Amino acid sequence: MQFDMCFDKGSLSVKLKYKGSIKLSSDQVLLCKRFQVNVLGILMKYKTDKETLLDKCCLEDDLEIDYLLLPSIVIDETPAVDWLTIKSVHPSKIGCQHHETTIWTANGLVCGCILRNALVCTPHNGRTYITTNIMELDGNSPLEVGDGEVTTYKKYFGQKHGIRLHFEHQRLLKARHVFPVKNYCHGRRQAKERDVSKTFVELPPELCSIIMSPISIDTLYSFSFIPSIMHRLESLLVAFNFKKMHLDHCPQNRIQTSKILEAMTTKSCKETFHCKSLATLGDSFLKYAVSQQLFSTYQNHHEGLLSVKRKKIICNAALCKLGCGSRIPGFIRNEPFDPKTWTIPGYKSSGFKLEETVFKGTKIYTSGNKKLKRKVVADVVADVVEALIGAFLSTGGETAALLFMDWIGIKVNFNIAPYERQFSTCPENIVNVVLLESLLKYSFRDRSLLVEAMTHGSYMLPDVPRCYQRLEYLGDSVLDYLITMHMYTKYPGMSPGQLTDMRAASVNNDCYARSAIKVQLHKHVLHTSQELHKHIVATLCKYDELSSSSTFGWESEASFPKVLGDIIESLAGAILVDSGYNKEIVWQSIRPLLEPLVTPDTLTVHPIRELTELCQKMKYTMDKTLSRNDGVTSCKIEVIVDGVVHQHEYKGSTNKKTATRLACKGVLNSLRLKETQDK
C-alpha cells in the first residue's frame, strides 16, 4: 500500500509493507504502549506531566483503539525494533552510555550523554523541547536580546523569569520546540508561517526536567506525521470494510480500495481527491441506464412521462433513501481531519467508545461518542451513491456498475427489446436520407427512425405518427454518458470537479445547437411552426464566426432554439436504437459533429457561476434585475466591491438565461479591468 501526503517542504510518500510478525512479552507491550502514549501525547499537546500520561496507558483488553507504533532500526539489512529509543521512557534505567561529565538538571545529577538527545520540559514556562547537543556556551556567555543590546544568559533568566542560575558555569543545551502535529492529509502545501518549532534555543540544564532519553530529533519528527498517516490508513480500512460488505454479495465485483475511498470522500475534507469526478461519471451512467430501461419498457409513453419516471428513480431523494438503506452514510468522509480529535492507540479515554452494528452479516463499527456524532445531508449521500457507481464503472465497466446498482436497489438491465412503431410511408419521400446518412456516416437499417428523429412536434401528418421527443429523451442520456466517459478516460489527471465543468460546457442545448447549424441540420427539420421558423432565421442572422468555429463556450449572444439541440440528441437516440444499442457506433457518428470538444486547456467557466462564486468567496454584494417586455429581455447585474459599483446591463431579444449570462460576463470584464489597472 502506498499513498502521498503534502507538507510544507513538499510531499511525503508513505509505503506500507508487511515484513513479518514478532512476539512480545506483556512487559514489552506495556513498555511500547508507554513509549507511544508519551511521545504522541507530548506532540499532540496533552499534559506534559509524565505521570498523567502514563496513568492513561494500560494493558486492558477492552481498549477501543489499541495497536503499537514503534521506531525501527536496520540490523544486517533487516528492520528491527529500536528498543533503546523505546526504553527512553525510563531514562534513569538506561544509565550512562558514554561516561561524560555529570550535569545538574531539575531531575538531579545526570551524565551529560543523556542530555544530548533528550525530550525535556522547562517547568518555569511549561514548554517542551528536544535537545540536540551540548553547546560551548554557559550562563555567563553573552546573549543578544535585540536592538543591539547584549546581556548574559544568567542575567536574562533573572530579569525575564526571576530565576537565579545556581550552576552558571554549566554548558547550555541546544534545543528546539517539539514539532507541531498538523493535518498532512490536505490537498495542498500549508501556507508558510512563523513556526516556533523551527527555532533553536539555549537552555540551562538545571532548568530542564528530563522526560525521555535517548530519543533523536528524527524519531520525534517522524512521529509528528503519525496521526495523519494513521487517519489515512484508518480511512482506507473503512473503505475496505465497505468493499468487503459489498463483495460478500457480489464477489465478482473487484475494485481498488483507494477508488472506494475516493468515492466516499467529499470536497469538505479538503484532500487531493474527492468524489466529484466519480459522481459526475456515475450520474451520467445512471441517467443513461435508467433512460434506456424506461425507453424499452414503456414504448407507448411520451417523453414527459418517461422523464417523470426517471426522476423518481434517480433524484437525490431516491438515491439518498437507497444509500441509507445500504448504510452508506456511516462510511462517508465529509469533514477535514482534525489531529486534535485523533485517539492515541493505547490511551484510555472515557470520551471515546465504538458501537457495533451487524448489517447483512457484516460487523460495522461507528463512534459512540455523542460529541463526535455528525450529520450528513441528503444531497451528499446521493452524490456518494453516484460516485460509487462511477467507481465501479471506471474500474470494472458497465457490468460492475449495474451489479452495484442492483445491490443498492436500482434494478436495471440492458436487455434489448424490439422498438415497435407503425410507419408505412417510404422515408426517402420525407427526408433526404442519402444526405443525412452521409453526414452521419451511418447507414440506417430502419430508415423510419431517421424520419422520427427529424420530426418536430408541430409536424402533424398521418404519415409520420411520432415526433423526435422519445428519441431525444434517449439520445440526451447516451450523449451525456458518452461525452462524460470520453473526458474522464482521456484526461485522467484532471483535478476533482474539472470533469463537472467540462461536462457542463459540452453537454447543453447551445453546444448541440451550434453543431446542428454548423452542418446545416436545421434545413432538414420537419416542422410547420411559423414561430420556430422565425426563431431559426433570427438565430442564423446572429450566428457569427466565433460561434461557427467552436461548438462550446459562452461567448455567443445568440439564443438558440431548443429544437436545434434536440435533433442532435434525437439522431443519437435513433442510431442507438437502430444499431442494437451499440454506443460505440453512436459515438463514432455523432462525435465529428461536436468537434472540437472542450479540453482542460480550452475550458472556460460559465460566467454566472464564475461571478457567483467570486462574490461568495470575496463577500461582495451582488444584485440582479431581470425583466422581459415586448419581446425584449433586460438583465442588470450590480456588484459592489470596496464601495465601488460594477454594473452591466444587457438588453436584447434573447431569453432570460442568455441575458443573465451576458450581463454577468460584462461585470466580470469590468472587475478584471479594475484589477489590471490596480497592478
pLDDT of 546 above 60: no
Position 168 scores a pLDDT of 94
pLDDT of 127 above 50: yes
157-166, 179-188, 315-324: segment of lowest average pLDDT: 179-188
Mean pLDDT throughout 605-620? 91
The residue ranges of every structural domain in the chain are: 2-89, 94-226, 228-335+374-406, 427-594, 607-678
Mean pLDDT throughout 211-238? 93
Identify which of 38-52, 240-254, 335-349, 431-445 has the greatest average pLDDT: 431-445
What's the DSSP call for residue 265? B
Architecture of the domain defined by 607-678: 2-Layer Sandwich (3.30)
CB 466 within 8 A of CB 453: no
- Let me know if 31 is exposed, middle or buried by CB neighbors in 10 A (0-12, 13-18, 19+): middle
Position 550 scores a pLDDT of 55
pLDDT of 443 above 90: yes
| pTM, rounded to two decimals | 0.86
Mean of the per-residue pLDDT values of the chain: 87
Q: Do domains 228-335+374-406 and 427-594 have the same CATH topology?
A: yes
CB 68 within 8 A of CB 198: no
CB 277 within 8 A of CB 488: yes
pLDDT of 75 above 80: yes
- In terms of C-beta distances under 8 Å and separation of at least 24 residues, what long-range contacts does 90-93 make, across chains too? 91/118, 91/210, 91/212, 91/213, 91/214
Domain 427-594 fold? Ribonuclease iii, N-terminal Endonuclease Domain; Chain A (1.10.1520)
pLDDT of 371 above 70: no
Determine the Cα–Cα distance for residues 457 and 468; give it in Å rounded to an integer.
Answer: 7
Mean pLDDT throughout 122-133? 92
How do residues 288-330 score in pLDDT, each as one tens digit?
999 999 999 999 999 999 999 999 999 999 999 999 999 999 9
Distances (CA, A) of 78 to 1, 20, 21: 20, 11, 13
Position 545 scores a pLDDT of 46
Mean pLDDT throughout 8-33? 88
The residue among 501 and 480 whose pLDDT is bigger is 480
Architecture of the domain defined by 94-226: Beta Complex (2.170)
What's the DSSP call for residue 486? H
pLDDT of 85 above 60: yes
Label residue 557 by pLDDT band (50, 70, 90): low
Position 356 scores a pLDDT of 45
What's the DSSP call for residue 527? -
What cell numbers appear for 611 in the block? 461571478
94-108, 155-169, 280-294, 645-659: segment of lowest average pLDDT: 94-108
Which residue intervals of 95-225 are DSSP H helices?
153-161, 217-223
The residue among 533 and 53 whose pLDDT is bigger is 533
Sign of dihedral through CA atoms 277, 282, 288, 291? negative
What cell numbers appear for 248 in the block? 460478500
What's the DSSP call for residue 124? T
Position 204 scores a pLDDT of 97
pLDDT of 182 above 60: yes
Mean pLDDT throughout 329-355? 78
CB 89 within 8 A of CB 81: no
Determine the Cα–Cα distance for residues 390 and 384; give it in Å rounded to an integer.
Answer: 9
Position 358 scores a pLDDT of 45
Label residue 552 by pLDDT band (50, 70, 90): low
CA quadruple 558, 562, 568, 570: dihedral, nearest 10: 180
Q: Is the domain 228-335+374-406 a CATH 2.60.260.20 member? A: no
Classified as helix, coil or strand, 404 is: helix
